[in-house]
C-alpha cells in the first residue's frame, strides 16, 4: 500500500513564490499584509516576513490567501522577526 505523498507547502502552509522576470511575483499562502509602500511590501508567512523591495510596486490582485505583486522587483527576502523593517 502506497502512502499518499502531499506537497510540503500544502501540509505545512508554507508560502509558494513564483517570480516571473522582475515584474511579477505571485505569492500563495501568505498570512496577511504587514506593510505596503510602492518601494517595499512586507507579507507575513509561516516562514517569517517576506520582504519585497523595488519601485512602483502594487498588487495586481490581493486576497486572504494569495497576492500578485507587480512593478519593478529588486529583492525578495525573508526575515525572522515580525513588524519592523
Partner 1 sequence: MRRSLRKWPVVVRVEGLNLNRFVRTAGEAGIRLTQVRRLSLRRLKALVREEELPALTDIAVQGGWQLHAGERKGSGRVLAWLSKRWLLSAGAAAALIALAAASRVMWRIEVVDGGSYTADIQSALQELNISAPMLRCQVDIGQLREALEWRYPRIAWIECGWRGTTLVIRPVTGVLPMQEETPTGMRHVVAARDAVVKQIVTRSGTPAVKPGDIVRAGDILIKGEERTSDGAVRPVAARGRILGRVWQAAEIVMPVTETSTRYTGNRQTVWTVRTPWFDFWPMADCGYDTWDTSVSEMPLCGIFLPMTLHMETRIEAICERSRRELQDVKAEAEAAALRKLYEIAGGEESLIDIWGNCSMIDSEKVQASAIGEMLVEIGVQSSPSDMAAPEQSEDSG
Among 5, 11, 64, 80, binds partner 1 (CB under 8 A): 64
Query: Residues 34, 47, 31, 81: what is their CA dihedral angle, to the nearest 10 degrees?
Result: -30
For partner 1, which is the closer residue by CB, 8 or 20?
20
Q: Name the minimum Å distance from CB 29 to partner 1.
A: 13
Does position 59 interact with partner 1 (CB under 8 A)? The reply is: yes
**C-alpha cell recorded at residue 37:** 509602500
* 48 lies in the site for partner 1, by CB under 8 A: no
Interface pick for partner 1 out of 60, 78, 83, 85 (rule CB under 8 A) = 60
H/E segment holding residue 5:
none
Q: Report residue 35 as a C-alpha cell.
A: 506593510
Interface with partner 1 (CB under 8 A), residue from 29, 35, 53, 76? 35
**b or e along 30-57 (b: 16 or more beta carbons within 10 Å of the residue's beta carbon)?**
bbeebeeeeebbbbbbeeebbbbbbeeb
The CB-of-5 to partner 1 minimum distance in angstroms stands at 30
Amino acid at each position: 500500500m502506497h502512502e499518499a505523498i502531499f506537497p510540503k507547502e500544502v501540509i505545512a502552509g508554507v508560502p509558494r513564490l513564483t517570480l516571473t522576470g522582475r515584474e511579477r511575483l505571485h505569492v500563495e499562502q501568505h498570512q496577511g499584509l504587514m506593510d505596503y509602500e510602492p518601494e517595499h511590501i512586507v507579507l507575513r508567512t509561516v516562514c517569517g516576513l517576506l520582504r519585497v523591495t523595488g519601485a512602483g510596486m502594487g498588487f495586481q490582485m490581493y486576497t486572504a490567501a494569495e497576492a500578485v505583486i507587480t512593478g519593478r522587483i529588486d529583492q525578495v527576502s525573508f526575515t525572522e522577526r515580525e513588524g519592523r523593517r
